[in-house]
Each structure stands twice: as structure tokens, then as C-alpha cells.
Chains A and B, each alone.
Chain A
């Protein structure tokens, strides 16, 4: 049973099952455990549609071999488990790091941070920060978080910074 493998309660798993089966076309509903939902349908979920990190979330949790970022039911449960109320701060910060690592190279470099800030402020022309502001901001972030001064933020530095923020766990939460 998947209950021991996730932070979700039995009730939450049942709700997740119901919501996932709404995304799956009717023909595949009886084989829901092997069905895969394409990314475009996943981002129509109300919990994800307003999220600027929706594509990164699908990418990180997808176990598809073909790289099309589709989610199976188990991937969906994994995602909900990490975003649940009961998940520990360590696992949340671990997955947050993976979500923010836009180029998937294992560290957050300047380009990743720039992408991250653009996602936060809204990625349209009128809403981005100016170049000088962006540079100053990234400089400040690296000064605060980059302990070994190599110009990038790795997982342990990220987790160290996140541990100082008590409301990270409550903001990194998606409840169906």
C-alpha cells in the first residue's frame, strides 16, 4: 500500500485518486495505475494553474522515460506527498532545490537565480526587474547564501538558508 511510502493519509490518497481520474480519459480509467497524464492536462489542475513553477514541478516529479514530463498516478502521489502538510522540512527543501534548478545541473548558478526571480515577479516585459536591480539582487543572494564562494549555491547551502526561514514549510504546501 502506498500509505507508508508517502506523507499522505488514506483520505488524502482517496481524494488524489478521484482528482487524478478526472484528468484521465474515460477509456483508461480502470487502468489508472498505469495511465500517464500529459503535462498540458496536469497544469489545468486548479492548484497548479496559477503556479509559475508548474512546468518545473511536472519535470521534477515525472518518471517518464521519454522525457515528455507526463505524470503517472504514483508520480502524482509523490508530488502531493512532498507538498503535504506532514512532510518534513528536509524533503521539502530538497525538492524545492530541484524545482529551482532550471538547467538540472545540480547547483543554482546565476542563470538559475535569474530565471527564479523572473518566475517570481512575473515573466512579462513590464514586470521584470531591471538589469541593474537583478544584478544587485543576485549579488546579494550569493553573498548571503554562497558559503564556499564558488559562485553557485549547492544543495547543502540551500538547505542551510531555508532552515532559517520558519515559514518556508507553510508556504511550500499544496492541499487538494
Chain B
């Protein structure tokens, strides 16, 4: 009997799946199949089922007569909203719950009250989100992929605003108030007035024409240099009024550090719940096809043309994935000779890519050096053309960086097609290379600045011997770095404005009113999400790097991003069509935050290095005449009572850090072992589930045969 059954069903199992449901009426009566064979208010069928399926503590088998008492204690704490029933049924259960209400303990009633309060607060917060209607409109027209970009932009605006308030509130506002109130500020350091390091006077001399003002506004020099915008203006002083003491230098240091920590915490918090799902699966299998089909349709689309576009895009994506799978299977069957040739080709192209990057970086380095050395020897411009030339020279690093970021990714796009990767991998590879180019060009700029400020790192070189830094060319080096970042920010904004006005709008006009051939060849502008996101991350990294030297930079960045939001929205609705290949909103959200974290990590390095290792300028700034910026904090700690001082010294010593690191390593290994055991457990459970399925089919068939 068994063997007969095995033979009969053997072939079906070999195929792996049933071709059709086993023809048995009994099958349809099983509880697991009876779940949804109803609609509307036939909720009595649910009663039999909810006994097994009981998420979040729904009590067993309610709906049947005898168990109303069991319903009692938990009903109130379960949100009625979460029951998948129609309204009439929910009302019936609420009446039941209210009958039991008197039997509830005060703890449960308090819990229910807390849940109601949380729900109310949540709904209020949801409604007060910034730009909520704009985002819904964009989603309705263009889908969630592009809406993710605007969501990210909104997040950056909020991040910058809070950062600006933090730094402004603790550094800028006190400085302004103290100066306005003309409070007595005691200088904290003894400065030798005749030291060669003290020669710093950026005030413009003589008659200043108006175009110099414009040039100064654009490059942060001249009248803008000694303002609250830059580091150099702040005093190294303590204000001691009746019982209130405020140390400006300590406040500056702590505000900058707290700003970085706040950004880190906020970004990590935002990306944690994206990481929990989707990217971490117990057996490593990514159900890409299932997710594309089950979660593929965007229910928020309201416009018929957008719906047609979405149909096309889903079909295109599915076809592409199936083609890719077929070609992958074909590629796996290549001969060793073909494979060897392909690998040599790929390594050659990678070398070419590295060479391209090297050339770009070298150009940036040369531009920075030329620009800085010319600026250090400038005199007040007497003619308009000379002033314009000087502006061009001071913007030279920004121009070269932007140029490299326009030209080199195009070369990447051409090269990657020669490497014969599957299409989705092509996109990812180009993206990784573009990210590297963007962030590394900023790093090269900073490194070349550092080399000039510290005479290539040699403190014994002629120029750097007296003050520890190149005081002839950089009397106030922090302000100079701040100015570079300010110029990058301004140029970024100008570039985006010009590209929108001079490229995108004319393209739309030409394509819609010009010859049809042009429309077919060039086509309407596509809103490319990854490229735009990289622009945002680049701008934010510039802001972070500059924040320690230019306290008002986060505020300027906020304004820039607000302007950008409206600009991009305008160009989206007037000029763009949605992309052919949709960017999965989820993975892209995580990708955006990952690249942002990378930018943050890169911006930590110059900030920490200048706080701990570089000597601050002696002629300007809140840390003049201190050996290092961190010294202000050390002095403050020394002023604390005995216990607090001992605590801080202990926390900073090796005796605390080494055991902490060891403990973290042990915890890490434990978590890895735990994850491994969980994945093994899941595999075993899956096998068991398959066996149970087979058992069920076998038993049902036996029962049908016997009856």
C-alpha cells in the first residue's frame, strides 16, 4: 500500500510541487484552508480558525459560545482596530469587552488608557509632518521611488535645522548677546603681541568698490571674514556675570562635538528599523520575485497615466530579471578559456578606472595648491577683471571637483558596459564607483589643504617652525578651511540652479516643441534618483566638514536644502518623466542612509584631527594661544571637584577602555553564535514543515480512499 502510494505521488514530489490541489473535498474543510473562504460578515468561520492564528495575544477560540469568560481580561488591551473583521463584528466584540470591563484590574485599565494616548499622539505627529501634502502628491504622480528622494531631502532639512539650532544656541547667540550687552569678557590666554604668529588683519584697506563686496560675499573673504560666520571672529574668553559663568571656547568645542554625535544618533536610529527587515534573513535567500509581485503595485497612484507607466515599469522589470536569470545560467556554462579572458578584461578595466580616478584626484590637488598659494599673496583688486580673475581662482577647486564629477561618471558608464555584468550589477557597480569618486574628491581637497597648512606634515620646515603651522600663508587657517567649504556650498547651489535653468527647461521645450527626431533620440528628462541623492550627500558632507570652522554653515545648508526642495519639485513636475526602471524604495532608503553615514565618517576625521592634533591659530578664534583645541576641555575638567575629575580621568585611561573593548568583542562573538544557531533552527523547521505538508496530503488521501 505504501509503495503504491509512493509510486503514484513519487513523480509529483520529484517535480517539487503539486501540479494542482489534491482532488479531495476534505481538504477544503481543514482549518488552514478554511481561513478565507468567505467574505464580508461570515466571521463565524473565523472563530474556528483564530484559535490557531492568534497574533498579539488574541485569546483562543472566541466567537464560540463557551469561551466568553476567557475573552475577559485581554479584550480591552488588544486594539480592536487590529482585528481583520468588518465593522459589525468589531462592534459586537466591543460590547462583549465592555461587559467584562468591570472585571478588569486597574493596571489593565491604565494600560488601555496609555495605548489610547499613544495612538492619539501618533496621529497628531503624523499630521504635522512638514510638506506632507507635497510628498503625497509626488507619490501619486511618480511613485514611491522618487518620493523616497524627497523624503530623504526633508530628513536632511530637519537634521540641519536642529544642528543649526544647537550650534546657534550655544555658540552664536551667546557671543552676540555678550557683545550686544557689552559684558566684561576676560581673556583667558596671555598673548605676546609681537609674536610673528599674530599677524592677522583681513580687513579691507582703502577704498573698496562695490564689486569687491560681491566677490567677498561669494568667497567669504574681506568684510565677511570677520563675522560670526567664521571661526576667526570668536573670542577666547569667559564671561563672568553675577553667578553666571560662560566659557565661549568650551561651549564651541562641546557644541561641535554634540552636533556630530546628534547627527550620528539620528541617522543610526533612522536606519535601524530599515535594517531589521528586508536585509537580514535567516537563510540568506532574498525573495526578490515574490516581493516584486506581492508588494509591486503602488496603491497610492491616482493618475491613469501614472498607472500605465507603472504597469510598463513592472513588466519591464520582471522581463529584465527573467532575462538576467537566463543569461546568468548561460554564463555559468562558459568554458574556462572564455572565463579567463573575461576576468583579464575586467581587471584591465578596473585598472583603467583607478587610473581615471588618480588623474581626477591629481587635478584637484593641483587646483587646490594653485588656488591657495595665489590667494595668500593677493592684494586688494583694483580692476573689475582682476577681481573676477581672483574669484575664478578662489573657486578653482570647486570647479575642478564639479567638472570631475560630471565627466568621470560618464566614462564609468561606458566602461562598465564592456565588463559584461548582468544589468542590475552594472547599476550597482557604477553607483559604488560614483560614490567613491564624490567622497574621495572631497578628501583629496582636504588633504591638499592640510599639506599646505602643516608644510606637508613636517613641523620643522622653515615656514612652520615658529607657530606649528604655516603662519605666513595661513594666519588663520581654520577660517580658510571654513571659507573653502562655504565656497563649495555656494558653488553647489549655483550649479544646481544653472543646470535646471540652462539644461532641463530648454531640453523640455526642445523635446516637446522641436522636431520629432530630437524627441525620439534625446527624450524627456528622466529623474535619476541615485545621482540626485549623491548630490545631496555630497552637500551634507561639505556642511559637516565645515561645521567646526564655520558655525553658521548648518543654517545656510538648511536654507539651501529648502530652496532645493522647491526647485526639484518644480523641475520634476514640469520637465521630467519617471524612470524606466524603478528604484526599489526600500533598498534605496537604506542605500541613501548608508552613503550618508559614510559621508559622516569622512567628516569626523578632519574635525577630530584638528581638535586633537593640530595647533589652533594664535591670531584668531576661540582657541588662540592654547596648545590644542582639546586643551580647553582639559582645563575645564581640571576645574571640576575631585570626584568628577577622578571619574573623567578614569574613563579616559587605558584601564577602562581595554576591558570595555574586550567585553564588546566577547558580546559580538556571542551574537554571531546566536545568529548561526537561529539560522540552523529555521532550516530544520522548514524541513519539518515540508514533512508535515506531505503528511497532511497523505492522510487526507487515505481518509478519502477509506470513506
Question: Which residues of chain A have a CB within 8 Å of any CB of chain B?
Answer: 2, 4-7, 9, 11, 46-47, 49-53, 59-65, 74-75, 77-78, 81, 83, 85-88, 90-91, 94-98, 100-101, 104-107, 109, 113, 116-117, 119-122, 127, 129, 133, 136-137, 140-152, 154-156, 158, 161-168, 170-175
Contact = CB atoms under 8 A, between A and B. Distances in A.
A148 B293 contact: no
A149 B80 contact: no
> Which secondary structure characterizes the binding site on chain B?
helix
B101 interface: no
22 contacts: A50-B302, A50-B306, A83-B299, A86-B119, A91-B84, A109-B21, A119-B297, A121-B318, A141-B290, A141-B293, A144-B289, A146-B17, A149-B690, A161-B294, A162-B295, A165-B291, A165-B586, A166-B278, A168-B294, A171-B296, A171-B297, A173-B300
A167 B494 CA distance: 34
Interface string B202-221: 00000000000000000000
Contacts of A104: 36-39
Q: By CB atoms of chain A within 10 A, which of B18, B20, B81, B315 has the most?
A: B81
Nearest to A74: B87
Contacts of B41: 63
A122 B693 contact: no
B75 interface: no
A61 B19 CA distance: 31
B144 A120 contact: no
A153 to B, nearest CB: 8
B701 interface: no
B311 interface: yes
Given A81-B81, A88-B82, A170-B585, A51 B299 contact: yes
B193 interface: no
Contact of B314 (A106, A109, A121, A151): A121
A53 B299 CA distance: 9
A74 B290 CA distance: 32
Contacts of A109: 20-21
B82 A91 contact: yes
Q: By CB atoms of chain A within 10 A, which of B40, B288, B584 has the most?
A: B40
Contacts of A59: 39
Contacts of B287: 144-145, 161, 164
Given A86-B123, A149-B693, A5 B295 contact: no
B299 A174 contact: yes
A86 B33 contact: no
Contacts of B81: 4-7, 81, 87, 91
B322 A137 contact: yes
B35 A155 contact: yes
Given A116-B293, A163-B277, A137 B86 contact: no
Interface string B362-395: 0000000000000000000000000000000000
A147 B689 contact: yes
Interface string B26-66: 00100011111111110000000000010110000000000
Given A141-B290, A167-B295, A62 B39 contact: yes
Q: By CB atoms of chain A within 10 A, which of B126, B311, B693 has the most?
A: B311
Give me the 6 closest cross-chain CB pairs, A-B, nearest first. Answer: A151-B18, A148-B693, A50-B307, A122-B311, A74-B87, A167-B586
Contacts of B269: none
A71 to B, nearest CB: 11
Contacts of B32: 106, 154
A134 to B, nearest CB: 10
Nearest to A81: B81
Contacts of B84: 91, 94-95
Contact of B319 (A65, A100, A133, A154): A133
A50 B303 CA distance: 6
Nearest to B13: A149
Given A145-B290, A151-B20, A173-B300, A9 B127 contact: yes
B410 interface: no
A9 B32 CA distance: 34
B417 interface: no
B80 A5 contact: yes
A50 B301 contact: yes
B16 interface: yes
Nearest to B285: A144
Q: By CB atoms of chain A within 10 A, which of B33, B122, B297, B697 has the most?
A: B297
Contacts of B291: 161-162, 164-165, 168
Interface in B512-539: none
